[in-house]
Amino acid sequence: MNTKQLLDGILPILHSVKENKEKLQKILDFLLDEIYEKPVEDEPEVPERYRELVKSVAQNIDCGLVCFINPETLEVEEIPKSMLDDPFEYKMQTGTNSDEQTFLHEDWETYIRFDPRESHESFGIMESFVEQVNDKNLKNKLQNTLNNRKPFTNFKNIVETSSFRQAWFDYKQGQLEKMVWKELTYEFEHLEENIKKYREEINGFYNDDGTKIDPNSVPVPSLCIICRKYKIDDWDENLLCLMNRNDQRDEPDFKCGAFEKI
């Protein structure tokens, strides 16, 4: 029989039991267990240069650490999330005062931050793992666990005492690495934009009285328009020009010792 003939034979059977929930469930279970194959997702290709970084970050965020990455050097700093979220409680539990700690990332020009996964993300990883379990009894047990109280604790207790223990660890690590690489590539693509935002929002432009300067509000004298240094591809030079224009914004005559005529 060809595929159409086979389909014509199957559909009447399904139609005949469409009101029978128990039989439909049996058919569904059979199809999922014996017939259905989940489409294989394209694995993101992580360049060799970043593989150890991605692996390390995935492991650390799984352990409750926040990772800060220097995008220029790929240096990584790991800090317990509890230390950042509640320094007082962290000190009470560990005796370590975060105020006495020196954090490397605070001296970096910019950084990429990775936090431990949100609860819904971790839950999603557990759900997708259960779909791949081919042990029907364990699969049902894990599904029931996810639908009841304390799903994270009970899921961990069940899966880590089963024959799928290592499979779970490998799957979770793989999913976390996918997430890390996806976020990392996004951050790299927007690196220049992030650096500019960091400089302007964190360093900022301020007057001596502490008021913030809006760069777009600073008048541009005609002298600047005919200067070689006007809007060149040099952030530091542009900053100096901006501050000079701002200092003289209320002066009748603009002067600049760095002027170079085009």
pLDDT in 10s for each residue of the chain, 262 residues: 778 788 888 888 888 888 888 888 888 888 878 887 766 555 668 888 899 999 999 999 999 999 999 998 999 999 999 888 888 888 888 877 777 788 899 999 889 999 999 999 999 999 999 999 999 999 999 999 999 999 999 999 999 999 999 999 999 999 999 999 999 998 888 776 655 555 555 456 677 776 777 778 888 888 888 888 887 777 778 878 888 888 888 888 888 888 888 8
What letter would DSSP give residue 43? P
Residue 212's φ and ψ, nearest 5 degrees, are -80, 145
Is the pTM higher than 0.85? The answer reads no
At 141 the three-state DSSP class reads helix
Cα separation of 204 and 136, whole Å? 59
Residues 98, 83 contacting (CB under 8 angstroms): yes
- Per-residue pLDDT tens digits for 104-152: 999 998 899 999 999 999 999 999 999 999 999 999 999 999 999 999 9
Distance CA 107, CA 38 (A): 46
